[in-house]
Structure 1
Amino acid sequence: MSDTSRPRLLVLGSTFPARPDDGVPAFVLDLAHQEATEFDTLVLTPRVPDGAARERIGDVQVRRFPYFPKAFEDLADGAILDNLKEKRSRLVQVPALVLAQYRAVRAAVRSGRPDVIHAHWAIPQGLVATLAAPGVPLVVTTHGGDIYALRAAPLVRLKRWIFGRAAHVTTVNSEMRDRLTEWGVPADRSTVIPMGVDLGPARDARARVAAEEHHVVAVGRLVEKKGFGNLLEALRGIGDDVPWRLTIVGDGPWRGRLEQQAAGLPVTFTGQRGRTEVLETLASATVVAVPSIPAANGDQEGLPVTLLEAAAVGAAIVASDLPGIRDVVHDDDSGLLVAPGDVPALGAALRRVLTDAEARDRYRERAVESAAEFSTERIGERYRAVLRGAIS
């Protein structure tokens, strides 16, 4: 933090790319770029393999702090909740991460004197900011897991305590905001603001990649809440008269079981890919499937950035009817919605999009119009307004 002519912003996150276009969700960085148009912006995030300890990305400064012996440090490499579900032994890294983040925030506050902190996820970032910088106005952004999961009574009390001390809380869909209201967050201190999508790269991918016939695409971390197992079963039962092939982009703890489930089917698992390749794959789809479901621990999507990217490239979308998702996809207008976990309905919707060219073209056109409402520029301005309000 160096420009004394502008307000200073400290951003805290735990999912952050190590390198440009490495396939790790970049929504925290994308928003930080927008925030940096008005604020002197520093992002503080846990160390991950191949990530520089300090770097500058455009107008955004980035610091990555160590929190565990490097050979075993993998809790924040991806999504923390999913990593804990995959390997319970990672629980030993949790207190180490919280303590290291506390120290890093204290040091950043002493050296940079931020005017406001923006914490992505209530736990651990919102908690740490509340403890480490009680005198700095705090904006907490919840993304899904920190509302829907972590449902044990002590954790709910902890979240209510964090939200009660925040200057403002943002969330990505209206159902999550209703939950905040139930937990005592006043209506004037919470706002629904989703993450945004960079329309430029999506537009470029749409221009250079043509949609292919019979191509179903699904993108996301291979975990329970993505619902990819239901997608495989829906396609298995779609009927021999409708040709299809499926490309699944992403990696995660469920990959082995999904590959086993897909045995004998025309399915390709690409693993994790960078944003450019993801956009090109989405643009090549006849239909993009977003079959999300609530996980057993209560976790579910807030508003998947992949869904916004699919809409922005002009894909025909079949998705689960969940809060957040239905803000982007309007049934039989900008895509088709089905009840989460309803495999026959998912199969019928996929069959329709694969076979009905007229409907498919309509969904593509309306999806692009819908995505425009979620441009990074529009979302960035809304977040900058919240940060200004928190300071004042």
Structure 2
Amino acid sequence: MTGTAPKLAVLVKGWPRLSETFIAQELVALEEAGHRFDIWSLRHPTDTKRHPLHDKLKARVHYLPEYLYEEPGRVWRAREMAQRLPGYAEAYEIWRADLVRDRSPNRIRRFGQACVLAAELPPETEGLYAHFMHTPSSVARYAAIMRDLPWSFSAHAKDIWTSPEWEKREKLQAATYGAVFGATCTGVGAEHLRSLADDPARVDLIYHGLDLSRFPPPPDRAPRTLGSPFHMLSVGRLVEKKGFDRLIQAFTHLPADLDWHWTHIGGGGSRDHLQAQAEAAGIGDRITWRGACDQPEVIEAMRQADLFVLPSRIASDGDRDGLPNVLMEAASQLLPILSTPVSAIPEFIEPGQHGTLCDDDPEALAKDITLLARNPEAAANMAQAARERLVSEFGMAPGIAKLSERLNALCADGSP
């Protein structure tokens, strides 16, 4: 495509975010496919590091008022401008109906941010595309109605499984100013959203995949020698759905003759609690907490490890993983994988063939960790199969081609 591609407004929760590499990967690929867009972020960055992908992106980044009271002048000016837009009255009525069912401050903030977005969008903007179906899509929907523009979204995990059904349904119905299309990155998520849509064709399954050109070739791994130190690695936010509390419990069940060490990479608010759990269990000296790292650091850690462990589970509020990109990143480096059969993880890892999937019960996790540690050749064979599947079935290009087609149609005529 050329520089005449339609101009989009892309909404994200926060920019940049180390934990959302999949979004940066997609947006860089869309730019390379010829799409022109600005990024509109609902929040300012909190991470102190950036991925190299963030620096590759050419799009201009705008920050909406994170909290309305922080920029009252901007908000009130935008509200006055928005009230003169053709769809403001309709957007206001839809928001009021939403507010009756969700009387949270976040719902009020969404409408204020939508007014700012609608007022400040460049006049050449022809469509909106929001990453995540909850808050960013609400802001996109209200602003799109005000500006009489088509909108679309990409749904992932938490936004699907913790949003109320009424809200998801209305965002998937033409009669209620729903999205022209929605993309989601897992088969289980696509099936759920299609069941709520007025037309199942409104929802596309688009795996994020992996752009292998951004990763080094896998290291020349010789099967680990029995009796040598066994290094495990996990990458993920320290939140309930990642299951790291149960993994720490599992470590206490490992056999005494296994010389193991675990490294965790990622941020999150539960670190102090988990560190205290490990210290109380007497295993704190076997654990390294590295905090948030950029992608080159993550990949280097994968190249040094013997096993990637991600004990995902469904959280108490229904939140769960989709298909974590870190599993594909581990596979790219021939790192054996141990995870759980939650959500879409089995869409990539067939147990016994591409890795090991087990219950997140601590004793079950410990049993499978021990089996993998004591059968390095079997682990290496599964890692090889996972990489082959990654290359053959989970490349990024097909998904980007489909998404690009959808976004072009969105801006051309607004039809699904």
TM-score, scaled relative to structure 2: 0.79
CA separation in 2, counterparts of 1:51 and 1:350? Answer: 32
Matched, 1:161 2:206: no
Matched, 1:141 2:150: no
Work out whether residues 33 and 60 of structure 1, in 8 Å CA contact, stay in contact via their aligned partners in 2.
no
Q: What secondary structure, in the 3-state scheme, does the structure 1 residue paired with 2:308 have?
A: strand
Q: What secondary structure, in the 3-state scheme, does the structure 2 residue paired with 1:237 have?
A: coil
1:245 alignment partner, one of 240, 261, 281: 261
Post-superposition offset of 1:51: 8.8
Work out whether residues 288 and 317 of structure 1, in 8 Å CA contact, stay in contact via their aligned partners in 2.
yes
Post-superposition offset of 1:31: 0.7
Alpha-carbon spacing, 1:130–1:214, altered in 2? closer, same or farther (3 Å):
same
Alpha-carbon spacing, 1:348–1:389, altered in 2? closer, same or farther (3 Å):
farther
Work out whether residues 308 and 330 of structure 2, in 8 Å CA contact, stay in contact via their aligned partners in 1.
yes
* Aligned residue type for 2:390: A
Work out whether residues 312 and 371 of structure 1, in 8 Å CA contact, stay in contact via their aligned partners in 2.
yes
Deviations 1:120-147 (A, max 9, x none): 1111111111111123222211111111
CA separation in 2, counterparts of 1:132 and 1:96? Answer: 14
CA separation in 2, counterparts of 1:369 and 1:181? Answer: 30
User: Structure 2 stretches of 5 or more lacking a match?
Assistant: 49-53, 72-102
Post-superposition offset of 1:196: 3.0
Corresponding residue number in structure 2 for 1:7: 6
1:127 alignment partner, one of 135, 138, 145: 138
Post-superposition offset of 1:175: 1.7
Could you tell me the percent identity over the aligned residues? 25
Corresponding residue number in structure 2 for 1:187: 200
1:33 alignment partner, one of 28, 38, 43: 28
Alpha-carbon spacing, 1:130–1:46, altered in 2? closer, same or farther (3 Å):
closer
Post-superposition offset of 1:185: 4.3
Alpha-carbon spacing, 1:329–1:56, altered in 2? closer, same or farther (3 Å):
closer
Q: What secondary structure, in the 3-state scheme, does the structure 1 residue paired with 2:125 have?
A: coil
Work out whether residues 111 and 142 of structure 2, in 8 Å CA contact, stay in contact via their aligned partners in 1.
no
Post-superposition offset of 1:233: 1.4
Post-superposition offset of 1:186: 2.1
* Aligned residue type for 1:13: V
Post-superposition offset of 1:325: 0.9
CA separation in 1, counterparts of 2:70 and 2:222? Answer: 43
Question: What is the count of residue pairs matched by the alignment?
Answer: 358
Post-superposition offset of 1:210: 8.9
CA separation in 2, counterparts of 1:267 and 1:56? Answer: 32
User: Structure 1 stretches of 5 or more lacking a match?
Assistant: 72-90
Q: CA RMSD in A?
A: 2.7
CA separation in 1, counterparts of 2:367 and 2:198? Answer: 41
TM-score, scaled relative to structure 1: 0.83
Post-superposition offset of 1:27: 1.9
Work out whether residues 239 and 269 of structure 2, in 8 Å CA contact, stay in contact via their aligned partners in 1.
yes
Matched, 1:176 2:196: no
Corresponding residue number in structure 2 for 1:363: 382
Alpha-carbon spacing, 1:215–1:51, altered in 2? closer, same or farther (3 Å):
closer
Work out whether residues 46 and 66 of structure 1, in 8 Å CA contact, stay in contact via their aligned partners in 2.
yes
Corresponding residue number in structure 2 for 1:87: none
Bigger Cα Rg = 2
Work out whether residues 158 and 321 of structure 2, in 8 Å CA contact, stay in contact via their aligned partners in 1.
yes
Greater shift, 112-121 or 346-355, is seen at 112-121
Corresponding residue number in structure 2 for 1:256: 272
